[in-house]
Structure 1
Amino acid sequence: MNDSSFKVGITKTFPCSYLPDEEERLLIAIDERLQNKHSYSILMTEGFRRSGEQSYRPYCPNCNACQSIRVLVNDFSPSKSQKRSLKRNASFTIKHSEQMREYYYPLYENYINTFHQDGSMYPATVQQFESFISSKLTTQLFIETWCEINGIKQLICVAVTDVLTNGLSAVYTFYHPDFKSYGLGRFSILTQIDLCRQLNFPYLYLGYQIDDCQKMNYKNSYFPHERFISSKWLLVERKSSTG
């Protein structure tokens, strides 16, 4: 992947979506030779991420706050709060699908239109949903969380996950607003860690950790993990036993 002949693009700078006083710029993998599972997996080890069919990495002029983060699955140990999450949600049924189902969209639309009215994805549309979630770069898994209420089964959460050569990559999670108190976003990470173990994958990639952005700094609570800093993966372990 160090071949200088690979074509990449650099976007113009624009206001950062996460830190209001910063400007954002992206490095885009545009070379057709990078549009496959093997290359996409290598790009992930180099701090890239994807949105739809586009693989990118922050390339900001004056900021390096975005740090790619991945959980070390074989050494992961849940905190006290994560154990409580697993216990609280133990009655839910977890299913896996390799295809995007039509019944995902109403759940996604409800989630976006309830929680993200101030974001670029509002209002949700089918076209936006499909272009954002689906990808031909690699195999996808959709991790479904179901509950049963009065004998009726209800889909309450979907975690969209990419299959890499060395792990899974958590792409996006959306859930029913009525179940917000169950912490389904964080619970879905635990279900993906468990799936990594089932598939004998050493890593779960969680995207970018941004310490100074409240809505993005939940990813650093799964230990041990590694952060991609200055082109190296650096180990971060839990400092105490508090959960």
Structure 2
Amino acid sequence: MRSDHVRLFQTLPHSCGYFVGRTAQNLVIDPAAPQLDRLYGAALDHGFRRAGGHLYFPHCPNCHACTPCRIDVARFKPDRSQRRCLKRNADITVSERMAGYNSERHVLYSRYLRARHPGGGMDEAEASDFRRFLTAPWSPTVFLEMHLNGQLVGVAVTDVCNTGVSAVYTFYDPDEQDRGLGTFAILQQVELARRRGIPWVYLGFWIDGHPKMDYKKRFQPLQVRTTEGWTDLRR
């Protein structure tokens, strides 16, 4: 995937979602390109990520903190904490479902955002917000639904390409936060990749020293993408 094969656009500066007082910019693959579905796997390998119908990569002039990262599926083994998470959630049924909007998912999504991002502008999500952020007509998306006693308690929005699975977003019942459903979702995405013979699970971006990103280091071996390509991240 080279810039002479597909157009890249740069966004205007906007507030950084990770560092107060900083601005951010992204490179975005032309959202009108007719071959986005075919470009997606290569875009993941180049460090891009999907949000709604856009494939983007952080491109901030004065900051390079956001580092693409991915789990090596063949070499990954859950650590003690992750094994405890699997045991704690052994009563949850996980199933692959067609991506898309329904009222049950929307109610759970809205509850999650109100608990996780109160007053942040995301906590009053309409049906159109759900569709626009989590799905795209061209994306190979499945929803990994988590049910407890017949009740939907979590959804892992997961894009499945031939060479990589991308963990796009996970939302879950805020009353069940002690279960570690975010970690549980990633472990299920690793298992999905393993079942399908897909070598990588992409976790978006890792920021060294950022408390919101620290959990990603626990999925070893974790690879990060530098200017020299992908390499193992050492603890």
Matched, 1:192 2:193: no
Q: Equivalent residue for 1:143?
A: 144
- The number of equivalent residue pairs is 234
Alignment of 1:212-231 (within 5 A): 212-230=209-227
Deviation, 1:35, is 4.0
The secondary structure found in structure 1 opposite 2:62 is coil
Unaligned runs of 5+ in 2: none
Q: For residues 209 and 106 of structure 1, what CA distance do their matches in structure 2 show?
A: 29
* Offset, 1:16: 1.0
1:204 is paired with a residue of what secondary structure?
Answer: strand
Question: In the aligned structure 2, how far is the partner of 1:191 from the partner of 1:5?
Answer: 35
Residue of structure 1 equivalent to 2:199: 202
Q: Which residue of 2 aligns with 1:116?
A: 117
Distance 1:231 1:11, change over 3 A: farther
Change (3 A) 1:231 1:4: farther
| 2:69 corresponding residue in structure 1 | 69
Query: What residue in structure 1 maps to residue 97 of structure 2?
Result: 97
Compared with structure 1, are the counterparts of its residues 127 and 45 closer, same or farther at alpha carbon in structure 2 (3 Å cutoff)? same
Give, as a single letter, the amino acid of the residue that structure 2 aligns with 1:66.
C
Q: What SS does the corresponding residue of 1:39 show, helix, strand or coil? A: helix
The 5-angstrom pairing of residues 24-39 of structure 1 reads 24-30=24-30, 32-33=32-33, 35-39=35-39
User: In 2, are the aligned partners of 1:75 and 1:224 still within 8 Å (CA)?
Assistant: yes
Q: Are the aligned partners of 1:97 and 1:143 in contact in 2 as well (CA < 8 Å)?
A: yes
Q: Do structure 1's residue 47 and structure 2's residue 47 form an aligned pair? A: yes
Identity of aligned residues (%): 35
Cα distance in structure 2, aligned partners of 1:33 and 1:115: 34
Superposed displacement of residue 155, structure 1 = 0.8
Tell me the CA shift for residue 34 of structure 1: 6.3
Give the distance between the partners of 1:81 and 1:26, measured in 2 at CA: 35
Amino acid at match of 1:126: A
Rounded to whole Å, the distance in 1 between the matches of 2:34 and 2:42 is 9
Q: CA deviation at 1:91?
A: 1.4
1:50 Cα shift? Answer: 1.0
Contact preservation (8 Å) 1:76, 1:222: yes
TM-score between the two structures when normalised by the length of structure 1: 0.91
In 2: Cα distance, 1:232 partner to 1:120 partner: 36
* Post-superposition CA distance 1:41-62 (Å, at most 9, x none): 1111111011100111000011
Q: Considering only aligned residues, what root-mean-square deviation do their CA atoms show, in Å? A: 1.6
> CA separation in 2, counterparts of 1:31 and 1:170?
20
* TM-score normalised by structure 2 residue count: 0.94
Conserved 8 A contact 1:71-1:226: yes
Letter in structure 1 aligned against 2:125: A
Verify the 8 A CA contact 1:8 1:31 in the aligned structure 2.
no
User: CA deviation digits over 1:112-158, x for unaligned, max 9?
Assistant: 1121114342222111111001112322110011111xxxx111000
Alpha-carbon distance in structure 2 between the residues aligned to 1:175 and 1:5: 39
Tell me, yes or no, if the aligned pair for 2:53 and 2:136 is still in contact at 8 Å: yes
Residue 19 (str. 1) matches residue 19 (str. 2):
yes
Q: Assess if the C-alpha contact under 8 Å between 2:94 and 2:147 holds in 1.
A: yes
1:106, 1:231 → 2: CA distance? 44
Q: Unaligned 5+ residue runs, structure 1?
A: none
Residue equivalent to 1:88: 88
